[in-house]
């Protein structure tokens, strides 16, 4: 298999993540021999320009999969369930953005800055975490070098691009209608998102949490190889286009001082500390959108409990939360080959 | 002093809270003999219609204060610091919406549903809590009948009307500009609020928390008469016009089951449980705006800790968070008289 100079297929190339992925292919000069762009029938035949050359969007077929070495999938969970095992069985390396395989024991769930070592054991499919898990797990992985982490409560402020381009359009249209005193149309979400908040991301489960909230708990445990870490999340959709924000309260099994935490976060790969509140410097969606790093600020000792800290993090859900993480995994595989 | 049929002054009558206060005077048929509406020089001479009669907006003067029995203040902290002690020394009952006197031992800090008993000991000035404290303290007060509460982590999603009418205008104008591809002007907040989030409400303190965040801790302790309750808040401004939302993780010193919590919250005065996620029913700013209740939903056992629950609450910051609470205090004083 040609890992060093692969033939690539991008499934979901016209979606919100797919577009960013192609930007990153150019930006990072990701090495490939050929690239095939796939999407649903709605986009079939469209032309996308990559590195100055037009590429025609195709449907994914068995023949196409037989002609590539590496497949990036960012479509629906249903599409992933269908495509990924097929591509893997045909010898492709599949990097999947869906939740379909994340908790499968045979599938590495990887954030390269945290657990690239897990890439050694893949059997064809490699999963990337949910876009709200990735920044959290990067921050926790850095901090647990100071003391073991026992518990985290975390509340999210998630942008609509996490849902997809239709949600981005809906927020824009609803907002335009509202500021023009017209009534907003509701279609993607169960309620209006313009100037509103929805404490509802993905389906509700019998324990009262949503799937999205449980992902933050289960995926974090898997990535950190730590089943003792207790995480309670509330995930909220906010009227922001891009970047997910998270407010976390982190409890440690041992002393932690804020300057050590700052130093550890500041030197962690992929994290940038933005924390000078006196000068109004802190992470915001406006700052992180289009950037690769997870931005961390509002760092402080948690006044409600010993050995605890509170912090605020923001990262681009389409980049580190999805496309960037996927391409970084591919780059690691090339390095490891 | 004529408590039963008072001569009233409303200081800050043209502000975001003042307007809602006057709506509530009509809506609740609040009894008064006369009402004077005061604001800054910018609004002096404006006419406001109340119960079908035009009233001219005046500047507040010593003479005016000497002619009234009850003063509602919702202006700046600076104005409160100047007016409240003066009015109280002249025999008025002052109900103040600022943070100026909230932690003064001689000033009751009151949410009638929680601690109206504290009204008995006022010395002229009565303070109402910060708009993010009020819903939290109502929920905690209901829940602590089940078991003592030891710790709360809470993250807020606060609307711009908490800042005032200029911020409402700014959000509207920034948003209109952005959807029309013009650049947004930034003036009220240090950064753009349209389609953005600011983890910054009020000034930063030396412990890394903001004043707003410390209010949620200090005011809750005072209102509940409980210095053992530990609260850590992160307060975030979101691009929503009205209603503050809060995600809380609450730890108890003893067993708590979710059905008892639901029952206790459901029967608490001023609280309405909206919690049928399977039917997409949960509190949202869109639902609570213009309503009196604190809406609570997403009730569940916290998976990260024994004897803990997670929940989500939303309430209209201009009503229960400010004007409604103030008028309810006046109604209680009339009842007690």
Where are the extended beta strands (E) located within chain A? 7-11, 34-38, 47-50, 53-56, 70-73, 93-96, 125-127, 149-157, 230-234, 244-252, 271-273, 294-301, 308-315
The neighbour count for residue A44, using CB atoms within 10 Å, is 13
Q: Does B286 touch chain A (CB under 8 A)?
A: yes
> What mean pLDDT comes out for the span B32-37?
97
CB contact under 8 A, A277 and B190: no
H, E, C per residue of B214-225: HHHHHHHHHHHC
Give the Cα separation of B44 and B60 in Å (integer): 10
Cβ contacts of B175 within 8 Å, gap of 6 or more: A175, A179, B184, B194, B195, B239
The Cα of A53 is separated from the nearest Cα of chain B by a number of Å equal to 29
Q: Specify the pLDDT at position A48.
A: 97
Catalytic residue among A38, A84, A131, A235: A131
Question: Complex ipTM, two decimals?
Answer: 0.96
At B151 the three-state DSSP class reads strand
Mean pLDDT over the full length of chain A? 97
Residues 183 to 222 of A: which have CB under 8 A from any B CB? 190-192, 195-200, 204, 207-210, 217
CB A150 within 8 A of CB A251: yes
Given A179, A247, A301, which is nearest B155 (Cβ)? A247
Give the Cα separation of B257 and B300 in Å (integer): 9
CB contact under 8 A, B197 and A245: yes
Residue-wise pLDDT tens digits, A71-85: 999 999 999 999 999
Whats the size of chain B, residue-wise? 337
Question: Is-catalytic flag, A92?
Answer: no
> What mean pLDDT comes out for the span A84-105?
97
> What mean pLDDT comes out for the span A123-146?
98
CB A13 within 8 A of CB A72: no
> What mean pLDDT comes out for the span A11-35?
97
What DSSP element (H or E) covers B87? helix B77-89
CB contact under 8 A, A151 and B304: yes
> What mean pLDDT comes out for the span B214-227?
98
Residues 96 to 125 of B: which have CB under 8 A from any A CB? none
Provide, rounded to the nearest whole percent, the portion of chain B with pLDDT above 90: 99
pLDDT higher than 60, residue A1: no
CB pairs under 8 A between A and B: 182
* Residue indicated by tokens 């500390």: A273
Helices (DSSP H) in chain A: which residue ranges? Answer: 16-27, 62-66, 77-89, 112-115, 133-143, 165-179, 211-224, 258-266, 285-288, 324-336
pLDDT higher than 60, residue B66: yes
CB A138 within 8 A of CB A270: yes
Question: Is-catalytic flag, B131?
Answer: yes
Q: Specify the pLDDT at position A3.
A: 83
pLDDT higher than 60, residue A23: yes
Query: φ, ψ for residue B109 (rounded to 5)?
Result: -115, 110
Q: Specify the pLDDT at position B9.
A: 98
- List the one residue out of B26, B67, B60, B66 whose CA is nearest residue B43: B60
Strands B47-50 and B53-56: antiparallel
Tokens of B290: 């213009």
Residue-wise pLDDT tens digits, A265-282: 999 999 999 999 999 999
pLDDT higher than 70, residue A214: yes
The Cα of B269 is separated from the nearest Cα of chain A by a number of Å equal to 24
CB A30 within 8 A of CB A24: yes
CB contact under 8 A, B301 and A207: yes
Domains of chain B: 7-129+322-336 (3.40.50.720), 133-317 (3.30.360.10)
- List the one residue out of B137, B246, B134 whose CA is nearest residue A155: B246
* Residue indicated by tokens 């924000």: A245
* Residue indicated by tokens 């003479």: B63
pLDDT higher than 80, residue A10: yes
Cβ contacts of B201 within 8 Å, gap of 6 or more: B156, B158, B162, B210, B212, B213, B235, B236, B237
Its pTM stands at: 0.97
Give the Cα separation of B166 and A132 in Å (integer): 33
Cβ contacts of A132 within 8 Å, gap of 6 or more: A156, A158, A162, A212, A215, A216, A233, A235, A244, A246, A317, A321
Give the Cα separation of A123 and A106 in Å (integer): 7
Q: Specify the pLDDT at position B337.
A: 85
Query: φ, ψ for residue A112 (rounded to 5)?
Result: -50, -40
CB contact under 8 A, A234 and B297: no
- List the one residue out of B110, B153, B169 whose CA is nearest residue A152: B153
Mean pLDDT over the full length of chain B? 97
**Burial letters B203-237, b for 16+ CB under 10 A, else e:** ebeeebbbebbbbbbbbbbbbbeeeebbbbbbbbb
Residue-wise pLDDT tens digits, B161-192: 999 999 999 999 999 999 999 999 999 999 99
Q: Specify the pLDDT at position B3.
A: 83
Q: What count of Cα atoms within 13 Å lies in the side-chain half-sphere of residue B317?
A: 25
Tokens of A325: 């993480």
* Residue indicated by tokens 């708590």: B256
> What mean pLDDT comes out for the span A289-309?
98
Give the Cα separation of A36 and A5 in Å (integer): 14
Where are the extended beta strands (E) located within B196-307? 230-234, 244-252, 271-273, 294-301
Give the Cα separation of A94 and A123 in Å (integer): 9
pLDDT higher than 70, residue A251: yes
CB contact under 8 A, A236 and B245: yes
Catalytic residue among B131, B225, B235, B249: B131
pLDDT higher than 70, residue A55: yes
Give the Cα separation of A198 and A190 in Å (integer): 9
Q: In what order do the strands lie in the sheet with B7-11?
A: B34-38, B7-11, B70-73, B93-96, B125-127
Q: Specify the pLDDT at position B1.
A: 53
The neighbour count for residue B276, using CB atoms within 10 Å, is 11
């Amino acid at each position: 298999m040609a890992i060093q100079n692969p033939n690539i297929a991008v499934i979901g190339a016209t979606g919100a993540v797919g577009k960013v992925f192609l930007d990153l292919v150019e930006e990072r000069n990701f090495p490939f021999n050929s690239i095939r762009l796939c999407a649903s029938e709605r986009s079939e035949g469209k032309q996308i320009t990559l590195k100055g050359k037009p590429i025609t969007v195709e449907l994914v077929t068995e023949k196409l999969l037989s002609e590539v070495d590496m497949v990036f999938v960012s479509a629906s969970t249903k599409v992933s369930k269908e495509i990924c095992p097929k591509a893997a069985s045909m010898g492709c390396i599949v990097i999947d953005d869906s939740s379909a395989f994340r908790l499968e024991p045979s599938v590495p769930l990887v954030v390269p800055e945290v657990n690239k070592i897990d890439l050694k054991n893949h059997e064809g499919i490699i999963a990337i975490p949910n876009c709200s898990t990735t920044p959290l797990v990067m921050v926790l992985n850095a901090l647990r070098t100071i003391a073991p982490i026992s518990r985290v409560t975390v509340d999210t402020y998630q942008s609509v691009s996490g849902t997809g381009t239709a949600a981005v359009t809906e927020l824009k249209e609803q907002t335009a209608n509202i500021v023009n005193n017209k009534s907003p149309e509701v279609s993607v979400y169960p309620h209006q998102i313009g100037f509103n908040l929805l404490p509802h991301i993905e389906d509700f489960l019998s324990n009262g949490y949503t799937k999205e909230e449980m992902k933050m708990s289960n995926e974090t445990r898997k990535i950190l190889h730590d089943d003792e870490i207790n995480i309670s999340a509330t995930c909220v959709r906010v009227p922001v286009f891009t970047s997910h924000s998270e407010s976390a309260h982190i409890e440690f099994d041992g002393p932690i001082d804020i300057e050590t935490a700052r130093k550890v976060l500041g030197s962690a790969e992929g994290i940038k500390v933005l924390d000078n509140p006196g000068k109004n410097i802190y992470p915001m969606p406006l700052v992180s959108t289009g950037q690769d790093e997870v931005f961390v600020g509002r760092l402080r000792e948690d006044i409600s409990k010993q050995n605890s800290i509170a912090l605020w993090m923001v990262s681009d859900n389409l980049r580190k939360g999805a496309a960037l993480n996927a391409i970084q995994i591919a780059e690691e595989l090339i390095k490891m080959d």
